[in-house]
């Protein structure tokens, strides 16, 4: 049936039995395709019927459908005619893992960070209202996990004040974000799930009251008192309607017919309204709903039958950090681990198992996590805040003014730093070096291998009067790269026979740097490769070291604008050191989804291209062509 679905209009001709058959086929399709390519499997298996019902009642793209977060949009992509692209999901030439405007007019939001869709929905529906487009509705599908983010509540506060916006909020309540949803909201939604029992009580009460001949009396009063008491405890409309939002539900999100009836009512309401749907993340696929459910939020390539990885993964940067933090936690009782709904992905699950009382999961609330960490530091603890590099963007103000300004002893650990690839523009961690470079008192380490992860982590948690930060990339960790020597904290990784080029390698770029230096040596150019380990502040000894060389190259996997090369250039200018600086890094642009190696190849960040550039620059200098200091090398020049 999937092959016959080219647009949501094709759903109109199907009866409910056929819709159930389509839902089953979609689940089989997702399991078959996503286990081969990797991707977000669990969230999409949970929203099959819900998405079908939404597309049956609303007319996309005239009615705008927004997903928060976009990782639950695979079914939406199938129903909007994109099933053929799933063979290359999250790969070059295939579908993006999130909504993407270039793919379809049915996609609106490309940012795949949680808790943003309600604000989008507020703005779009207000825009429709103000521009006399009253025949258009906006539907926001938001998970219970995304409702733990403060931005969602900022949006709800404004949405509730409006009476005319045609905005339908569908809460996809599966008790999970990435990890199980936690906090007061999760407790409240759990209470709402108990309303089915409440409704049964009401039905029983109505029947008993109908048989009671006299209004009043002890039986009548008792029943009404019980009814009021239970309603006060579990009435679903409580919090949302107190906020000013009409509430419908909760409904079985896997019952297409029931969801359609609810959505029709919501559409006809004509103002902001919330529809509460209960779903099961990973529905229909046993490995995704059993003990390892969290691992099936996003999967690599796995066996479709067992759910086990096809290839056993090697040690990862994350696992090395995770194990070392546990060791440090055993030695120091003041170490506290904090994350934002990502205990497993950041490696803090191991710390939680051993030290549950010292592990804090704040939900999807990075801003709160960082300021809370400042408070913990004030109270004498040393918090370790572990998040993906891209998600630290959301808490920059708190890092700057709550942590750094107060010189709080907080350690940030950024996983997935640099180019990550598969998840597309919003998930690349290419901004952290530029952003953190302007934060006073913050010290930043970029370990090149697993041994340096352990080493710099221990150095970081020893700092109690300023914030520290470690960043490392996604995936398998490289073999340890030993240093020939360490000078003033700077590791020398490769020593050229002549003082032609000083190559400053940042973090995980060490392998490529050493390989490029080796190739340049065969071309007659002497390159010395150094790793500062701590890239903020950079050691002043760099100035002394650079004086011996004809040019300096800085290689980093963050954006060049405001990155480490810019800091080196400023340092040299302050020291009145006149030496050409060549910057190799990521240009100031958003990078489309592709494998990390493919992205780096596109950017010219390969050992071969770097070698060619170094040889050409050195040759030009020998011929008397002078390059200005702080030269930024474009992608074209690198090629």
Instruction: Report the C-alpha gap between 213 and 370 in whole angstroms.
Output: 62
Domain match, 107 and 221 both: yes
Catalytic residue among 136, 281, 448, 454: 281
CB contact set of 513 (below 8 Å; sequence gap of 6+): 493, 494, 503, 505, 529, 555, 610
| DSSP class of 592 | P
Per-residue b or e along 135-172, where b marks 16 or more CB atoms closer than 10 Å to that residue's CB: ebbbbbbbbbbbbbbebbeebbebbbeeeebbbbbbbb
Would residue 304 count as lying in a domain? Answer: no
- Is the model's pLDDT at 298 over the cut of 80? no
Domain match, 275 and 363 both: no
Q: What are the beta bridge partners of residue 317?
A: none
* Banded pLDDT at 305 (limits 50, 70, 90): low
Mean per-residue pLDDT, 554-575 = 94
Final residue in a domain of this structure, among 296, 329, 350? 296
Domain span at residue 256 reads: 2-296
**String of DSSP letters for 396-439:** HHIIIIIIITTT---EEEEES-B---TT-GGG-B-SHHHHHTT-
53 is in an annotated binding site: no
pLDDT given for residue 415 in this prediction: 94
Q: Is 533 a catalytic residue?
A: no
- Is the model's pLDDT at 639 over the cut of 70? no
Structural domain tally of the chain?
A: 3
Asked if 504 and 532 touch (Cβ cutoff 8 Å), the reply is yes
549 is in an annotated binding site: no
Domain match, 338 and 412 both: yes
pLDDT given for residue 215 in this prediction: 47
Instruction: Report the C-alpha gap between 447 and 454 in whole angstroms.
Output: 9
109-135 pLDDT, tens digit each:
886 678 888 988 999 999 999 899 989
- What value does the CA radius of gyration of the chain take, rounded to a whole number of Å? 28
* Banded pLDDT at 637 (limits 50, 70, 90): very low
The Cα angle at residue 131 between residues 128 and 136, in degrees rounded to 5: 30
- Is the model's pLDDT at 627 over the cut of 80? no
- CA 219, chain centre distance (Å): 55
174 is in an annotated binding site: yes
210 is in an annotated binding site: no
Domain match, 404 and 367 both: yes
- From the CB of residue 445, how many other CB atoms can be counted at a distance below 10 Å? 24
- Is the model's pLDDT at 386 over the cut of 50? yes
Instruction: Report the C-alpha gap between 494 and 515 in whole angstroms.
Output: 9
From residue 235, how far is each of 169, 243, 282, 328 by CA, in Å?
19, 14, 28, 46
Instruction: Report the C-alpha gap between 16 and 621 in whole angstroms.
Output: 74
- Is the model's pLDDT at 161 over the cut of 90? no
Instruction: Report the C-alpha gap between 354 and 351 in whole angstroms.
Output: 5
- Is the model's pLDDT at 187 over the cut of 70? no
pLDDT given for residue 638 in this prediction: 33
Instruction: Report the C-alpha gap between 266 and 53 in whole angstroms.
Output: 13
- CA 466, chain centre distance (Å): 26
Q: Is 332 a catalytic residue?
A: no
Domain match, 255 and 363 both: no
Would residue 224 count as lying in a domain? Answer: yes
- From the CB of residue 357, how many other CB atoms can be counted at a distance below 10 Å? 7
Mean per-residue pLDDT, 405-411 = 96
Would residue 477 count as lying in a domain? Answer: no
Final residue in a domain of this structure, among 471, 504, 531? 471
pLDDT given for residue 525 in this prediction: 93
Sheet containing 246-252, strands listed edge to edge, beginning at the edge strand earlier in sequence: 64-68, 138-143, 167-173, 273-278, 246-252
**String of DSSP letters for 313-327:** ---BHHHHHHHHHHH
pLDDT given for residue 418 in this prediction: 86
pLDDT given for residue 42 in this prediction: 84
Among candidate residues 104, 118, 184, the one with its CA nearest the CA of residue 146: 118
**String of DSSP letters for 334-399:** TEEEEESS-TTTTTHHHHHHH-GGGEEE--S-HHHHHHHHHHHHHTT-EEEEEEEHHHHGGGHHII
Quick check: pTM over 0.95?
no
Final residue in a domain of this structure, among 240, 267, 296? 296
| pLDDT cut 70: percent of the chain above it | 82
The dihedral formed by the CA atoms of 462, 468, 474 and 480, expressed in degrees to the nearest 10: -40
416-456 pLDDT, tens digit each:
998 887 777 778 889 999 999 999 999 999 999 999 999 99
pLDDT given for residue 36 in this prediction: 83
Would residue 497 count as lying in a domain? Answer: yes
Mean per-residue pLDDT, 605-617 = 91
pLDDT given for residue 184 in this prediction: 54
Q: At what angle do helices 184-193 and 195-211 cross, to 10 degrees?
A: 40
Domain match, 467 and 494 both: no
Mean per-residue pLDDT, 252-267 = 94
From residue 519, how far is each of 230, 496, 604, 615 by CA, in Å?
76, 11, 16, 10
Would residue 301 count as lying in a domain? Answer: no
114 is in an annotated binding site: yes
- Is the model's pLDDT at 218 over the cut of 70? no
Pairing of strands 534-536, 443-445: antiparallel
Would residue 205 count as lying in a domain? Answer: yes
Instruction: Report the C-alpha gap between 126 and 556 in whole angstroms.
Output: 43
CB contact set of 459 (below 8 Å; sequence gap of 6+): 445, 468, 534
Asked if 555 and 505 touch (Cβ cutoff 8 Å), the reply is yes
Domain match, 239 and 345 both: no
* Banded pLDDT at 233 (limits 50, 70, 90): very low
* Banded pLDDT at 497 (limits 50, 70, 90): confident
Domain match, 281 and 335 both: no
Domain match, 241 and 344 both: no
* Banded pLDDT at 309 (limits 50, 70, 90): low
The mean-pLDDT minimum among 58-67, 226-235, 469-478 falls in: 226-235
Asked if 475 and 317 touch (Cβ cutoff 8 Å), the reply is yes
Would residue 263 count as lying in a domain? Answer: yes
H helical segments located in 165-252 = 184-193, 195-211, 217-234, 238-243
Q: Is 36 a catalytic residue?
A: no
Would residue 484 count as lying in a domain? Answer: no
Q: What is the phi-psi region of residue 604: left when phi exceeds 0, alpha when psi lies from -120 to 50, beta otherwise?
A: left
Pairing of strands 382-388, 335-339: parallel
CATH code assigned at 126: 3.40.50.970
* Banded pLDDT at 207 (limits 50, 70, 90): low
499-529 pLDDT, tens digit each:
899 999 999 999 999 999 999 999 999 999 9
- Is the model's pLDDT at 231 over the cut of 50? no
The Cα angle at residue 55 between residues 54 and 58, in degrees rounded to 5: 80
Domain match, 40 and 128 both: yes
Q: Please tell me which residue, 144 or 582, carries the higher pLDDT value.
A: 582
The mean-pLDDT minimum among 43-47, 354-358, 384-388, 413-417 falls in: 43-47
The top-scoring range by mean pLDDT among 70-79, 97-106, 205-214, 325-334 is 325-334
Domain match, 290 and 348 both: no
145 is in an annotated binding site: yes
Catalytic residue among 394, 416, 533, 596: 394
Domain match, 420 and 564 both: no
Among candidate residues 104, 79, 84, 113, the one with its CA nearest the CA of residue 7: 79
CATH code assigned at 630: 3.40.50.920
Q: What is the phi-psi region of residue 244: left when phi exceeds 0, alpha when psi lies from -120 to 50, beta otherwise?
A: left
- Is the model's pLDDT at 630 over the cut of 80? no
- From the CB of residue 261, how many other CB atoms can be counted at a distance below 10 Å? 15
pLDDT given for residue 167 in this prediction: 94
Mean pLDDT score across all residues of the chain = 84
């Amino acid at each position: 049936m999937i092959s016959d679905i080219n647009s949501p209009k094709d759903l109109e001709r199907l009866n409910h039995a056929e819709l159930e058959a389509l839902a089953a086929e979609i689940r089989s399709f997702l399991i078959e395709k996503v286990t081969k390519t990797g991707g977000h499997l669990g969230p999409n298996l949970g929203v099959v019927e819900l998405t079908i019902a939404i597309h049956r009642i609303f007319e996309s793209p005239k009615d705008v459908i927004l997903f928060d977060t976009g990782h639950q949009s695979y079914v939406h992509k199938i129903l909007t005619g994109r099933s053929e692209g799933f063979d290359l999901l999250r790969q070059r030439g295939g579908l993006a893992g999130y909504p993407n405007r270039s793919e379809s007019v049915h996609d609106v939001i490309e940012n795949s960070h949680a808790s943003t869709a309600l604000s989008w929905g507020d703005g779009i529906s207000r825009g429709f209202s103000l521009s006399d487009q009253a025949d258009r509705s906006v539907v926001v599908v938001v998970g219970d996990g995304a409702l733990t983010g403060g931005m969602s509540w900022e949006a709800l506060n404004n949405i509730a004040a409006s009476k005319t916006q045609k905005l339908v909020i569908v809460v996809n309540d599966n008790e999970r974000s990435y990890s199980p949803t936690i906090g007061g909201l999760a407790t409240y939604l759990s209470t709402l799930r108990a309303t089915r029992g409440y409704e049964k009580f009401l039905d029983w009460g109505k029947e008993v009251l109908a048989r009671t001949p006299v209004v009043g009396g002890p039986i009548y009063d008792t029943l009404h008192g019980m009814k009021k008491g239970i309603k006060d405890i579990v009435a679903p409309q409580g919090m949302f309607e107190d906020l000013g939002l009409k509430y419908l539900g909760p409904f079985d999100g896997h019952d297409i017919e029931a969801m359609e009836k609810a959505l029709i009512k919501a559409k006809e309401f004509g103002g902001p309204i919330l529809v509460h749907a209960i779903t099961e993340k990973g529905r229909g696929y046993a490995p995704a709903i059993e003990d390892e459910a969290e691992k099936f939020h996003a999967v690599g390539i796995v066996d479709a039958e067992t759910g086990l990885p096809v290839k056993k993964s090697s040690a990862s940067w994350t696992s090395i950090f995770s194990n070392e933090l546990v060791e440090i936690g055993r030695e120091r009782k003041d170490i506290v681990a904090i994350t934002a709904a990502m205990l497993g992905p950041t490696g803090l699950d191991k710390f939680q198992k051993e030290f549950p009382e010292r592990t804090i999961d704040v939900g999807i609330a990075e801003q709160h996590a960082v300021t809370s960490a400042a408070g913990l530091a004030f109270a004498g603890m040393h918090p370790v805040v572990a998040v993906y590099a891209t998600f630290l963007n959301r808490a920059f103000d708190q890092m700057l003014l709550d942590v750094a300004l107060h010189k709080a002893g907080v350690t940030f650990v950024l996983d997935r730093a640099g180019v990550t690839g598969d998840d597309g523009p919003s998930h690349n961690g290419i901004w952290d070096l530029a952003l953190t470079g302007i934060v006073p008192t913050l010290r930043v380490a970029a370990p090149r291998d697993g041994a340096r992860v352990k080493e710099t982590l221990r150095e970081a948690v020893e700092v109690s009067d300023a914030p520290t930060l470690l960043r490392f990339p996604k995936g398998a960790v490289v073999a340890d790269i030993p240093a020939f020597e360490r000078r003033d904290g700077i590791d020398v990784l490769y020593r050229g026979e002549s003082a032609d080029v000083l190559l400053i390698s940042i973090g995980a770029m060490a392998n490529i740097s050493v390989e490029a230096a080796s190739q340049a040596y065969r071309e007659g150019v002497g390159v010395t490769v150094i790793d500062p380990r701590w890239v903020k502040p950079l050691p002043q000894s760099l100035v002394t070291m650079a004086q011996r060389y004809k040019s300096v190259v800085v290689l980093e996997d963050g954006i060049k604008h405001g990155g480490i090369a810019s800091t080196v250039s400023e340092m040299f200018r302050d020291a009145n050191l006149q030496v050409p600086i060549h910057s190799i890094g990521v240009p100031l642009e958003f990078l489309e989804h592709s494998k990390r190696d493919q992205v780096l190849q596109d950017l010219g960040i390969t050992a071969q291209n770097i070698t060619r550039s170094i040889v050409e620059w050195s040759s030009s200098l020998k011929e008397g062509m002078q390059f200005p200091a702080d030269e930024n090398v474009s992608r074209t020049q690198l090629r």
